[in-house]
Structure 1
Amino acid sequence: MSSKFLKGAFILTLGAIISKVLGLFYVIPFEHMVGNKGATLYQYGYVPYTIFISFATAGMPLAVSKFISKYNALEEYAVGEKLFKSSLKLMMITGFLAFVVLFTMAPVFTTMLGVNKNSVSDITSVIRAISFALILVPFMSIIRGYFQGHEAMEPTAISQVVEQIVRIVFLLAGVYIVLHVLDGELVRAIQIATFAATVGALGGLVVLFWYWKKQKPYLDSLKERDRGTMSISLIQIYKEIFLSSIPFIFVGIAMPLFQFADLMTFNRAMSSIGLLHVAEEALGVLNVYAQKLVVIPMTLATGFSMALLPTVTKAFVSEDQTEFTRQLDQAFQILLFITIPAVVGMSVLADPIYSAFYSHDLLGISVLKAYAPVSVLFALFSISAAVLQGINQQKYTVLSLLVGFLVKLSLNIPMIKLFETEGSVYATALGYLAAVLLNLYVIYYFTGYRYSLTIRRTVLMATFSAIMGLAVWGLHSLLSLWLTSEGRFQAILISAVCAIFGALIYAALSLKSKLAHRLFGTRIDRLKKKLGL
C-alpha cells in the first residue's frame, strides 16, 4: 500500500471518529434541556430521515468514488467527469423527490405511530423540519465521493467534522434560545434541533466548495491529459452501481430499521398494558440516550476488525484457505476480545455510566443494563456483513437483515407486554441474533470456514469478562458506601475508577493466559517492552 493511500485512509477514519464523538457528547446538554420526551420527539423525525437518506443516495457516493478512481488509473479522466456531473443531477432529483415524499407523507406516517391525537401535529412538524436536509445531503455526498475518487480524503473528513460542528452548535443554541430565552414550547425547540441537519449540510457544502475552488486548477489539468480512448455508457454504469449498492443500503439502515419497528409498535404495546402515559419518555431513553452509549463498544471493535478485512478478501480471492482462516479468526476474535468485556462492564456500571452522561434515571439505567450486551450482536452483524462483501456474497446481507427485522417486528409487541421497555431490547437482540446466525452460516457455506477456534476463545473471553465483572461489581459496591451516582461528578469518578480497575484485571488475565499474545502477536511484546513490564 502506498503512503498516500494510508495517509488518506487515516484522515478519513479520523474525520469519521471525530464526527461520531461529537455526535455522542452533544447529547449530554441536549438531554439536560429537553429530557426524555424531547428525545422521543427528536427520534420521531430522525429515524425516517435516516432511512430516506439511505435510499435517496442509493450507494452512489461510494460508487462514484470507486469508478472515478478506476478510470483515473486508466487516464480516462473524462469518463469520471461525465459520471460525476450526471450523478450530481441524479442526486439533486432523488434528494428533492425524497424531500417531497417525506414532507407530504409526514401526517400519514405520524398517524401510524399510535400516539395520542394531541401529538400528531407536533410529530408531523418535526418530521417536516428535518425533511429539508434531504435536498442537500445527497448532493453533498456525491461531491465527497468525487474527491475520494481523486484520492483527496481531506475534503470529506474536514467537511464531515464542520458539518457536525455547525449542526451541533445550531441545535444546542437553537434549543436553548427557544426554551430559556423565548420561553417557547418543546416541540418548537425540537423542530429547530431537527432542522439543524439542513444547516449542518450547508456548512459541509461551504467547505467542499472551498476545496473545489482550491483544487480546480489541478482537476482541469487532468482533463488535458485525458487519453480519450473510452466511451462508457452511463446506463450500464448506473445499472452496475444500483445492483452492487442495494446490500450496502440495507446494511446502512439496519439500526434505523429496527428503531422504525419501535416507532410503529412501542406506543401501542405500552398502551395495551396501561403505560401509554410513560411510553413517549421511555422511547426516548431506549432509542436515543441508551442507544448512543451502546454503540460505543461496537464502534471501537469494528474499527480494529475492519482493518483486517482487506487481507481476508485477498486471501479468499487467491484461494489461500489457511491464510483466509487465520485472518478471519483474528478479525472475529479481536472484535469479541474488545466488545465482550466492554459490554459486561457497561452492564455492571449502568448506574454510574448513565448518570455520568445524562442524569440519574432509574428507567435509563435499567434499559442500559439490558441493552449493553446487544452491542456484541451489532458488531458481529457489521463485520459478518463486511465479510460477505469480501467473498462477493453481499446479497445474503439483505436476506439476513429482512429476517432479523421480521423477527423484531413480530416479537416486539409480545416482548413489550411481558417486560415493558426492556422487552423492545430483547426483541432487538433476537432479531440481530437471527441476522448474525444467518450471515455466519452463509460464510461457512461458501468458504468452509469453521468457527471452532473462535468459539473456544470466546468462552475464554467470556470467563475472563465474568471474573472482571464480579470484581468491578464488588468495587462499585464498596465505592457506593462513600459515593453516590446521583451526582454527575461522583458518577464520573465511580465509572472511571471501576473501568480502569476492570480493564487492568482483564488485561492481566489475557496476558497471563497468553490470549492477548495469540491475538496480537509481537505487538504485545513491543507494548510490554515500552511499558517496562
Structure 2
Amino acid sequence: MQNKQMQNLMKGAVVLSIASFIAKVLSAVYRIPLQNMVGNTGFYVYQQIYPIYGIGMTFALSGFPVYISKLVAEQTEPAEQTKILRQSFALLGIFGAAIFIYLQIKAPAIAGAMADPALAPLIEMVSFMFLLMPFLAVTRGYFQGIFNMIPTATSQVAEQLVRVVVIILAAWLSLKLHWSVYEMGTWAMTGAFFGGLVATISLLKPAERAFVWRGPVTKGIDWQSYKGLAKKLLIEGGSICLFASLIVLLQLIDSFTVKKGLVLGGLTDAAAKNLKGVYDRAQPLVQLGLVISMAFSSTLIPSLSQARQRQQDQQFRQVAEALIHISLGLSAAAATGLMVLMPQVNVFLFGDADGNRALVWYMFSIAIIALINACNSVLQSLDQFYKTTIALLVGIAVKIMINQWLVQHFQIVGASLGTVISLGVVLYLVLRQSPELVKNALAPKRFTFKLLLICGMMWLAVKIALDITHFGLMTRGAAIMSTGVGITVGVLVFVGLALRWQLFTIREWLTIPGGRQLLRLSKKIKR
C-alpha cells in the first residue's frame, strides 16, 4: 500500500474518531439531564429498552457497514461494487423487516420476560428503526470501503443529535404534562426512528451514484450470487455485528436478569427499578472510554484486508500492531482515569455517589472490550470468523448463566462482576486463537508491562492530587473541580511516561490525533 493511501486511511480514522467522539459525547451528555429530570426509575425504563436500539445502531453503523466496506474494498471494478451494494440492500431489507415484525408481535412477551409488562409500548416504538437499518448499513459500508469517511461521520453525528433532542424534549414534556415514566420512555424511543430518518436523508444524495447500475443488464435474478452473499453476511458479517454489539448484548442480558435478581435478593419492585437505574449509569461512561478504539477498529479493517490481499506482510503487521497498541493503550488510560475518579464523576454527572463500587468494577470492561475488538479486527482481516464468533457466544453464555445469581447475592456489584468475567472469558479464547503477530504486539516486556506500570503511576498521581486539593464531594461544583484536577494530572502523567518509556513507536504516535505535536514538544523538552 502506498504511503499516500496509508495517510488517507489514517485521516479517515481521525475523521471517524472525531465523529464518534462527538456522537458518544452526545450519547453520554443527554443521560445527565435525562436522569436528573426523570430520576433513577425513569432512567431504568429508558435503559431497559436501550440495548435493542443499541443492537440496531450497531447493525447500521459499525457492524454490517464494516463488513460491506471489506467487500467493496476487495473489488476493483465499479460494476462489481454496485452489484454487491444492491444485493446487500435487498438481503438486509428482508432482515430488517423480519426484526420489525417480530418485535411488533412479540413486544408483550419480551416485556414480560423483563419482569415489567409496561415496557411493551417502548419495544414496539424502537422496532421502527430497523426499517431504516438496511439503507444506512449499505451506504456507510460503501463509503468506508472507498476510504471516504465523511458521509458516515456526518450521518452519525446528525443521527445522534436529532435523537438526543427528541429524548430531552420527551423528558421535558413528561415533567410539564405529568406523564408516567413509561409514557416518557415511549416518546423518548421515537428519537431512534427520527434520528435514523435524518441520517438516511443526509446519505441519499452522496449515495445516489453508488447505486447506479454499471454492469450489463441481465434477465432474472442471480439466486446463486444472492445465496453466496447471504451466507457471507450471516456468518462473517454476523460475526462483526456480534463483536461490535458485544457490550450492548451484555446489557440486554442485564435487562432480563438484573431487576429479577434484585427482587429475588429481597428488594421491593420499586427499589429494584431504582437500583437498576443506578447501575445503568455505567453505560455512557463505557461508551466514552471506547470512542477512539472503536473508531480505529472500524476504519482500519479495509486497510488490513487490502494489505493482506496484496501480500504486503510488513504493512499488515505494522497496521495490526498500531491498532492493538493504540486501542489498548488509550482505553486502559481511560478506564484507569474513570476508576480513580469515579466518586467525583458520579456526583458530577448524576448528582450523588450511589453505586460507586459497581461502577468502578464495570470500568474494567473498557480495556477488555478494546483489546477484544482490536484482536478481532486482525482475525477478521485474515477471514477467521468462526472461532472468534464461538468465543463471543461462549462469553455471552457465561453471562447468562452467572448474572442473575451474582445479582441476587451481590446486587449491582454482582452484575458488574458478571460483565467483567464474561468479557474475560471472551478475551482469553480470542487470544488463544490469535496469530503470533498479536501475541508479539502484547509482549509483556515490550508493551504490556510498560502500560500496566504507567496506568499504576497515573492512578497514584491522581489519588495524591485529589488528596492535596481536597475539594470534597458535597456539591456538583466541588466534584467538577476535583474531576478537572484529576483529568489534568492523569493526562500529563500518562502522556509524559508514555513518551519517556516509548510505550508507542514513532509511527504509532503519528497515527494518534495530536501525536505529532506531542513528539515535537517532547524533543524540545529534552533539548
TM-score relative to the length of structure 1: 0.84
Q: Are residue 17 (structure 1) and residue 18 (structure 2) matched?
A: no
- Alpha-carbon offset, residue 490 of structure 1: 2.2
Mapped to 2, the partners of 1:91 and 1:253 lie a distance apart of: 17
The 3 A distance-change label for structure 1 pair 267 and 451 is same
Q: Please tell me the residue identity of whatever aligns with 2:127.
A: S
Q: Is the Cα–Cα contact under 8 Å of residues 388 and 439 in structure 1 kept in the other structure?
A: no
Of 251, 256, 262, the residue aligned with 2:248 is 256
Matches within 5 A, 1:410-449: 410-444=401-435, 449=439
- Alpha-carbon offset, residue 108 of structure 1: 0.8
Matches within 5 A, 1:305-344: 330-344=322-336
- Alpha-carbon offset, residue 314 of structure 1: 7.0
The 3 A distance-change label for structure 1 pair 509 and 38 is same
- 2:231 corresponding residue in structure 1: 239
The 3 A distance-change label for structure 1 pair 474 and 183 is same
The 3 A distance-change label for structure 1 pair 203 and 516 is closer
- 2:258 corresponding residue in structure 1: 266
- 1:368 corresponding residue in structure 2: 359
Mapped to 2, the partners of 1:30 and 1:138 lie a distance apart of: 30
Q: Please tell me the residue identity of whatever aligns with 1:393.
A: Q
- Alpha-carbon offset, residue 515 of structure 1: 4.1
Instruction: Give CA-to-partner distance per residue, 1:274-317, whole Å, 9 cap, x none.
Output: 12442222222323x21211232332345467777777667777
Q: Is the Cα–Cα contact under 8 Å of residues 511 and 517 in structure 1 kept in the other structure?
A: no
Q: Please tell me the residue identity of whatever aligns with 2:112.
A: T
Q: Please tell me the residue identity of whatever aligns with 1:278.
A: A
Identify the range of structure 1 (49-58 vs 289-298) with the bigger mean alpha-carbon deviation: 49-58
Mapped to 2, the partners of 1:321 and 1:61 lie a distance apart of: 25
Instruction: Give CA-to-partner distance per residue, 1:145-172, whole Å, 9 cap, x none.
Output: 4555566543332222222111111221
Instruction: Give CA-to-partner distance per residue, 1:95-121, whole Å, 9 cap, x none.
Output: 2221111121111112212x3xxx41x
- 1:171 corresponding residue in structure 2: 167
Mapped to 2, the partners of 1:497 and 1:175 lie a distance apart of: 32
Mapped to 2, the partners of 1:35 and 1:295 lie a distance apart of: 21
Identify the range of structure 1 (146-155 vs 234-243) with the bigger mean alpha-carbon deviation: 146-155
- 1:459 corresponding residue in structure 2: 449
Identify the range of structure 1 (270-279 vs 171-180) with the bigger mean alpha-carbon deviation: 270-279
Of 180, 202, 209, the residue aligned with 1:207 is 202
The 3 A distance-change label for structure 1 pair 189 and 238 is same
Mapped to 1, the partners of 2:492 and 2:415 lie a distance apart of: 34
RCO higher in structure (CA 8 A, sep ≥6):
2
Identify the range of structure 1 (311-320 vs 505-514) with the bigger mean alpha-carbon deviation: 311-320
The 3 A distance-change label for structure 1 pair 27 and 240 is same
- Alpha-carbon offset, residue 504 of structure 1: 2.2
Mapped to 1, the partners of 2:522 and 2:137 lie a distance apart of: 43
Mapped to 1, the partners of 2:61 and 2:457 lie a distance apart of: 46
Of 74, 77, 86, the residue aligned with 1:74 is 77
Q: Please tell me the residue identity of whatever aligns with 1:164.
A: Q
- 1:93 corresponding residue in structure 2: 94
Larger radius of gyration: 1
Q: Please tell me the residue identity of whatever aligns with 1:390.
A: S
Task: Tell me the secondary structure at the aligned position of residue 274 of structure 1.
Answer: coil
- Alpha-carbon offset, residue 186 of structure 1: 1.7
The alignment covers a number of residue pairs equal to 513
Identify the range of structure 1 (232-241 vs 38-47) with the bigger mean alpha-carbon deviation: 232-241
Task: Tell me the secondary structure at the aligned position of residue 200 of structure 1.
Answer: helix
Q: Is the Cα–Cα contact under 8 Å of residues 56 and 94 in structure 1 kept in the other structure?
A: no
- 2:373 corresponding residue in structure 1: 382
Identify the range of structure 1 (141-150 vs 402-411) with the bigger mean alpha-carbon deviation: 141-150
Q: Are residue 130 (structure 1) and residue 121 (structure 2) matched?
A: no
Instruction: Give CA-to-partner distance per residue, 1:485-525, whole Å, 9 cap, x none.
Output: 34223211111112212322334444444445688578564
Q: Is the Cα–Cα contact under 8 Å of residues 333 and 519 in structure 1 kept in the other structure?
A: no
Mapped to 2, the partners of 1:371 and 1:314 lie a distance apart of: 36
Instruction: Give CA-to-partner distance per residue, 1:302-339, whole Å, 9 cap, x none.
Output: 54677777776677778888887676555434434333
Q: Is the Cα–Cα contact under 8 Å of residues 59 and 241 in structure 2 kept in the other structure?
A: yes
- When the two chains are superposed, the root-mean-square deviation of aligned CA atoms in Å is 3.6
Q: Please tell me the residue identity of whatever aligns with 2:272.
A: A
- Alpha-carbon offset, residue 192 of structure 1: 0.8
Q: Is the Cα–Cα contact under 8 Å of residues 95 and 139 in structure 1 kept in the other structure?
A: no
- 2:50 corresponding residue in structure 1: 46
Identify the range of structure 1 (305-314 vs 146-155) with the bigger mean alpha-carbon deviation: 305-314
Q: Are residue 528 (structure 1) and residue 522 (structure 2) matched?
A: yes
- 1:476 corresponding residue in structure 2: 466
Of 471, 480, 488, the residue aligned with 1:500 is 488
TM-score relative to the length of structure 2: 0.85
Q: Is the Cα–Cα contact under 8 Å of residues 375 and 438 in structure 2 kept in the other structure?
A: no
Task: Tell me the secondary structure at the aligned position of residue 472 of structure 2.
Answer: coil
Identify the range of structure 1 (519-528 vs 92-101) with the bigger mean alpha-carbon deviation: 519-528
Q: Please tell me the residue identity of whatever aligns with 1:405.
A: I
Mapped to 2, the partners of 1:271 and 1:455 lie a distance apart of: 47
Task: Tell me the secondary structure at the aligned position of residue 290 of structure 2.
Answer: helix
- Alpha-carbon offset, residue 404 of structure 1: 0.9
Q: Is the Cα–Cα contact under 8 Å of residues 159 and 195 in structure 2 kept in the other structure?
A: yes
Q: Please tell me the residue identity of whatever aligns with 1:204.
A: A
Q: Is the Cα–Cα contact under 8 Å of residues 325 and 449 in structure 1 kept in the other structure?
A: no
Structure 2: gaps spanning 5 or more residues:
511-515
Identify the range of structure 1 (454-463 vs 37-46) with the bigger mean alpha-carbon deviation: 454-463
Q: Please tell me the residue identity of whatever aligns with 2:466.
A: H
Q: Is the Cα–Cα contact under 8 Å of residues 60 and 133 in structure 2 kept in the other structure?
A: no
The 3 A distance-change label for structure 1 pair 94 and 335 is closer
Q: Is the Cα–Cα contact under 8 Å of residues 166 and 203 in structure 1 kept in the other structure?
A: yes
- 1:280 corresponding residue in structure 2: 273
Mapped to 1, the partners of 2:147 and 2:519 lie a distance apart of: 35
Q: Is the Cα–Cα contact under 8 Å of residues 64 and 237 in structure 2 kept in the other structure?
A: yes
Q: Is the Cα–Cα contact under 8 Å of residues 332 and 454 in structure 1 kept in the other structure?
A: no
- Alpha-carbon offset, residue 443 of structure 1: 0.8
Q: Are residue 346 (structure 1) and residue 329 (structure 2) matched?
A: no
Instruction: Give CA-to-partner distance per residue, 1:32-61, whole Å, 9 cap, x none.
Output: 112221121112222234346667999654
Instruction: Give CA-to-partner distance per residue, 1:29-88, whole Å, 9 cap, x none.
Output: 1111122211211122222343466679996544555555655x325x3x5445544444
Q: Please tell me the residue identity of whatever aligns with 1:346.
A: L
Mapped to 2, the partners of 1:381 and 1:256 lie a distance apart of: 15
Q: Is the Cα–Cα contact under 8 Å of residues 63 and 240 in structure 2 kept in the other structure?
A: yes
- Alpha-carbon offset, residue 11 of structure 1: 4.0
Structure 1: gaps spanning 5 or more residues:
none
The 3 A distance-change label for structure 1 pair 23 and 411 is same
- 1:189 corresponding residue in structure 2: 184
Task: Tell me the secondary structure at the aligned position of residue 434 of structure 2.
Answer: helix
Q: Are residue 400 (structure 1) and residue 391 (structure 2) matched?
A: yes
